[in-house]
Chain A
Amino acid sequence: MSSGGVGQLEAGAELAPLEIAVTRTLIVAGAVASRDYQDVHHDAEAAREKGSPDIFMNILTTNGLVGRYVTDRLGPGVRLRAVKIRLGAPNYPGDTMVLRGTVTEVDDSTGTAEIRVVGANGIGHHVTGTVRVAFGAVREGEGRA
C-alpha cells in the first residue's frame, strides 16, 4: 500500500468533511452520466406534478459522491469493496450537502476497513450508509478480467 492516507486508518478516526454544492447542473449531469432519464431529475414541472417541490438528485449520483468522498479522503491506494446507502431528505437545487465519515472498523487480517458516512443537507440527512474499502494490495485475481 503506497498511499499516505491509509496509514491514518484506525477505528474512530474521522475523515475531513466534503462540501458538495447541490446545483441544478450537478443533479442533471449526475442523472445523465448515470443514464437515468427519470423526469424528476431534470424537469421541475414534472417533479412538481409528482408531489416534489423541485427536481432532486438521483440515488446513483449520491452513490457516486459517497464513493468519491471516501476514496478522495483515503487516497488512490484504497479500493471500494461495498457502498450501502439509504436516502432521507432529498437533495434539491440550491442546497449544500456536507459529507462526513468515521472509520468504524479496521481489519488488518483482511486488509479492509469500514467507514460510516453521513451526508447532511439543509433539511436533514440526505444519505446515511457504510462504505467498505480494501487497503491492502488488490487481491489475487482481481483487477484482471
Chain B
Amino acid sequence: MTDGAITDGAITGGTGSRKFVTESYDDREHAGFQARLKKYEGQTAASSAVGKDLVNEPMIRHWCEAMGDTSPAYEGPDAIAPPTMLQAWTMGGLSGHTDRSSAYEDLFALLDGAGCTAVVATDCEQEYVRDLRPGQRITFDAVIESVSDRKTTKLGTGYFVTTRMDVFGDGELAGTHRFRILKYAPKERRSGPAASTTQQGAAKQEHAEPRVVPGAESRKDASPALRPRPVINRDNAGFWKGVSDHRLLIQRCETCELLRFPWLPGCNGCGSARWDTVEASGEGTVFSYVVMHHPAFPAFDPPYAVGLIELAEGVRMISNVVGVPAEQVRIGMRVEAEFRRFDAELELPVFRVVDGSAGAGDAEGEG
C-alpha cells in the first residue's frame, strides 16, 4: 500500500460469500455505490512521494533484530537492506502520510462512510530488482489497481482494495510492491465503554445491508431477540407437559426399570417401548460445564454457564447454571432445579447452585 498507515493482518479462514437471492432497493443502491468505487481503479494513490528516512543502518538493524534475521548480507560496510523491508521505507509512521493523493483519501473516506471502518491486509507481493543500501533516498509512486465487489468474510463485509507501488532508491527502481487490503465493517463488536466510531460505522452498514450482519442484535433493539423454542414432538411432548406443570419428568422403562433422559421411544437397556415416568427431585450436581463467552447469540447474555447436571436419580440433563457468577461454577457443585420464565411463551428448567456448595475446583484452590 502506499500506505503505511494501513497494514497488516489477516482474514480468518476462507472468504465464503453469502448469497443474495432477492433483488431489492438495497441491491440497486449498492450497485450505484459499487460503480462509484470502481471509478477509483487506475487512479494515482501517491506520486513521487518521499520516504521519511534515507535507507539507514539503524532501521535495518532494528528490523533484523525483530525478525531474528542474522544474515551477514545486512551487516557491515557492504550491507544491503533486507529486501523485505521494501514497504517499511515508505511507511508514514506515527505522524502519518502527508503526500497521499486525494483519490486515495477519497476512496477510503467513501468506504469509511459505508461503515467499512476497519482494515486488514491480506496479500503482499514484492519483486526486488535492485538492492537498497544505506544512504539512498526513497521515492515511490502508487496506483489503485482494483477495488473488488462487496465480499462477505469472517471478519465482516467489505471491499478488497489493491494498490501497486514502485519504490525507487536514488531514483532507480528498487522493487515493486502490490498490496491488498480488506476494508470492512466489523461483524461484531464487544460491548465496551468506547466502541464509538466502529460502532457507528457498523450501524450504518447494518442499515444498508440488514442481511449481512447476522447475530449482531444488541440489547438496545426495539424487539429483543427471543430464545430458541424447544422442538416438541410425540416422543418428548410428555417432558414439556411436565415443565409446564413445574415437574421435571424422567422416563422409566416399564420392563427393566432403567431411567432415561432425554426422552426417547425405546429403552437404551432392553429396547422395550413400554415406559412410564418418575418425577425428579430436582436435586443434582454439576457433572461438567462450559462458560460461554463467544460468540454472542441473540437472547443470550455472555458470559453464562451451561451445565451438564447429574440428577440425584442418575440421569444427566443440560441447562443453565444460575445463582453464582458464571466463572464461579465448578464441577461437583450441588444444584437444584427451578423453572424460569424467559418470555411470555417460554419457561425452562434451570439449575440454581445450592448455598454453600463447593465444587471440586474450590477444593483445588485457584491461582
| Chain A positions near chain B (C-beta within 8 angstroms) | 20, 26, 29-30, 32-38, 40-41, 45, 48-53, 56-61, 63-68, 71-72, 76, 79-91, 123-124, 126, 138, 141-143, 145
Contact segment of B185-193, B254-262, B304-312? B185-193
Number of residue pairs spanning A and B whose beta carbons lie under 8 angstroms apart: 188
Docked Cα-Cα span, A138 to B128, in Å, equals 12
Contact of B122 among A79, A86, A143 (CB under 8 A): A86
> Interface residues of A: mostly helix, strand, loop or mixed?
mixed
**Is the Cβ of B189 less than 8 Å from the Cβ of A49?**
yes
- In the complex, the answer to whether B4 meets A36 with C-beta atoms within 8 Å is yes
Q: Could you tell me which B residues sit within 8 Å of A by CB distance?
A: 4-13, 59, 62-63, 65-73, 80, 82-85, 87-88, 91-94, 118-131, 133, 135-136, 155-156, 169-170, 172, 186-190, 192, 194-195, 198, 294
Provide the residues of chain B in CB contact with A33, threshold 8 Å: 59, 62-63, 65-67, 88
Contact B127 A71 (CB under 8 A): no
A72 to chain B: which residues have CB within 8 Å?
69-71
Chain B residue nearest to A134 in the complex (CB): B128
Contact for A124 among B13, B65, B93, B170, CB less than 8 A: B13
Q: List 28 A-B contacts (CB under 8 A).
A: A33-B62, A37-B94, A38-B5, A50-B118, A51-B187, A51-B188, A56-B8, A56-B9, A57-B8, A59-B8, A60-B88, A60-B124, A63-B84, A67-B82, A67-B83, A71-B71, A71-B73, A72-B70, A80-B128, A81-B127, A82-B126, A82-B128, A83-B124, A84-B124, A87-B10, A88-B10, A88-B12, A145-B131
User: Which 4 residue pairs spanning A and B have beta carbons closest together?
Assistant: A35-B91, A58-B8, A51-B186, A87-B10
Bound together, the chains give a CA A48 to CA B10 distance in angstroms of 14
Q: Does B4 lie within 8 Å of A84, measured CB to CB?
A: no
Would B94 and A41 count as touching, CB distance under 8 A? no
Given contacts A30-B66, A72-B71, A83-B124, 6 further A-B contacts (CB under 8 A): A49-B190, A58-B9, A60-B124, A71-B73, A80-B84, A83-B126
Are A64 and B169 in contact, CB atoms less than 8 angstroms apart?
A: no
Q: Which residues of B contact A41 (CB under 8 A)?
A: 8-9
- How many Å from the CB of B169 to the closest CB on chain A? 6
Q: Which chain A residues border B10 with CB–CB below 8 Å?
A: 56, 59, 87-91, 126
Q: Is the CB of A37 within 8 A of B9?
A: no
Known: A59-B7, A89-B13. A64 touches B85 (CB 8 A): yes
Once A33-B63, A36-B91 are accepted as A-B contacts, the answer to whether A64 and B172 lie under 8 Å apart by CB is: no
**Most chain B C-beta atoms within 10 Å of own C-beta, residue among A32, A37, A61, A145:** A145
Chain A residues with CB below 8 A from B71, complex form: 68, 71-72, 76
Q: Are B9 and A59 in contact (CB under 8 A)?
A: yes
> Are A63 and B124 closer than 8 Å at their CB atoms?
yes
How near does chain B come to A76, taking the closest CB pair, in angstroms?
5
Check if B62 sits within 8 Å of A48, measured CB to CB.
no
**Nearest chain A residue, comparing its CB with the CB of B53:** A35
Q: Which residues of A lie under 8 Å from residue B187 when comparing CB positions?
A: 51
Give the distance in Å from the alpha carbon of A37 to the alpha carbon of B5 in the complex: 7
Decide if A85 touches B118 in the complex (CB within 8 Å). no
Measured CA separation A29–B63 after assembly (Å): 8
A37 and chain B: residue at smallest CB distance: B94
**Complex contacts, A126 vs chain B, CB 8 Å:** 10
- A36, B136: Cα distance in complex, Å: 21
The residue from B69, B80, B121, B133 contacting A59, defined by CB atoms under 8 A apart: B121
